[in-house]
Chains A and B, each alone.
Chain A
Amino acid sequence: MNMIFKALSDPTRRQILQLLRKRPMNAGELAEHFPIAKSTLSAHFAILREANLIEANKTGTVITYMLKVSVLEEALLTFAETVGIGLPVSEPLKKATGKAR
C-alpha cells in the first residue's frame, strides 16, 4: 500500500498514469510530454512498475507501457489529481497560511 501512495504522491507519475489512461505508450512517446531527463523518467517508470500500477511489454528494443490500476487505485489517482497532492502550494494559499514571508 505504501508503494501505491508513494507512486501516486508525485505529479509527474500521476501525469504518466493519466497519459496511459488514454492509450498504451512507449517510453519515447511518454518522454515527449515531460521536460525532464530520460533517466529521471526511467526512475518514475520503475516506481510505477514496483507499485504494480503499470505493465511493461518489451517488443524488440521498444518497451510499451500500459495502465494496470485497480478500481480503488484509479479512484485514488482521480482524488490525488483533484486535490493536487504533491503540487507546489499556490500563492493565495501561501498568503492565507502565512508561509509567503
Chain B
Amino acid sequence: MINRKALWISILLVLAMIAATLWRLSLLPDWQHVPAEGPGNGRIIPAFVMFVPPLGVLFAMGMLFARQWLRSGPAEAVRPWRLYNGLTLVFVTVMMTLAQAFNLARSLGALQSVDRLTLAHVIFVVTGIFMMVTGNSLPKMPWLTARFRPLDPWQWNQHLRFAGKLTFVLGLFFAVGMPLLPFNMVVPVAIGLSIATGAASFWHRAKVRRGPSPQP
C-alpha cells in the first residue's frame, strides 16, 4: 500500500545513503571508529551509528509493508492510502537523507559552523508541521478491512478520529514545544512521546473494537 514512485525514490535514497557511508568509512584508517566532528577532532563514534538513518528508513518501509499485509479494501479505498503512505515514506526518507548528509559532512570536517541544536530544532519543527498535516487528514481516510481483528466502518472512523487528533497534538508539541527543551532532553522526550502515542492509539483501537457499534 505504498505509492510505487515514492517507494522507488526511497529505495534510491537509501542506496545513496549506504554508498556514501561506505565511501566515508573507506577513507578511514580504522573503519570501526568515525570522527563525528571532522578529522583530528575529539569525538569518535562507532561506525554502526552511521547506518542508523538508512536503517530507520528501512524500518519505516517495513512498517508500511506490514500495514499493507494486514489491511485490504476496494481499489478506490486503497488508492488514497497508497498516496498517504507514499508521502509519509518520502518525508521520512528525505529527512533521514538530510540528517545523514549533515553527519557525513561534519565527519569530513565541513559545516562546522552549523549548530547541532539549531539543526535539531529545525528538524523537529518541520517534522511537527508534517505530523499536523497528516494527522489532520487521517480521519478523512477511507475504511479498510483488516486480516486480524477488523473494525467496522464506524469503529474505523472513531479510531481514525482519535489517532488523527493524537498525531496532530504530537506534531504541535514537536513544532512548538521541542525547540524550548534543552538538547539532552530532546531525543528521550521525542522517543517517549512517540511510544506513548503509539500505545494510546493501540489501546483506543482495542477499546473501540470491544465497545458496541451502531453500524447498520
Residues of A within 8 A of B (CB): 22-24, 26, 52, 57, 59, 62, 64, 66-72, 74
Contacts and interface: CB of A to CB of B under 8 A. Distances in A.
Contacts of B69: none
30 contacts: A22-B214, A23-B154, A23-B214, A24-B153, A24-B154, A24-B215, A26-B216, A52-B140, A57-B153, A62-B216, A64-B216, A67-B157, A68-B139, A68-B157, A69-B139, A69-B140, A70-B136, A70-B137, A70-B138, A70-B139, A70-B140, A70-B164, A71-B136, A71-B138, A71-B139, A71-B161, A71-B164, A71-B165, A71-B168, A74-B139
B135 interface: yes
Contacts of A68: 139-140, 157
B109 to A, nearest CB: 45
Contacts of A57: 153
Nearest to B135: A71
Interface of B: 135-140, 153-154, 157, 161, 164-165, 168, 214-216
Contacts of A72: 136
Nearest to B154: A24
Contacts of B137: 70
Nearest to A53: B140
Nearest to A29: B216
B213 to A, nearest CB: 9
Contacts of B215: 24
Given A23-B214, A24-B214, A71-B136, 16 more contacts: A23-B154, A24-B153, A24-B216, A26-B216, A52-B140, A57-B153, A62-B216, A64-B216, A66-B154, A68-B139, A68-B140, A68-B157, A71-B139, A71-B161, A72-B136, A74-B165
A60 B191 CA distance: 49
Contacts of A74: 139, 161, 165
A62 B139 CA distance: 24
A22 B212 CA distance: 12
A59 B90 CA distance: 38
In this complex, which of A52, A70, A71 has the most chain B Cβ atoms within 10 angstroms of its Cβ? A71
A-B CB proximity, top 3 nearest: A23-B214, A71-B136, A71-B168
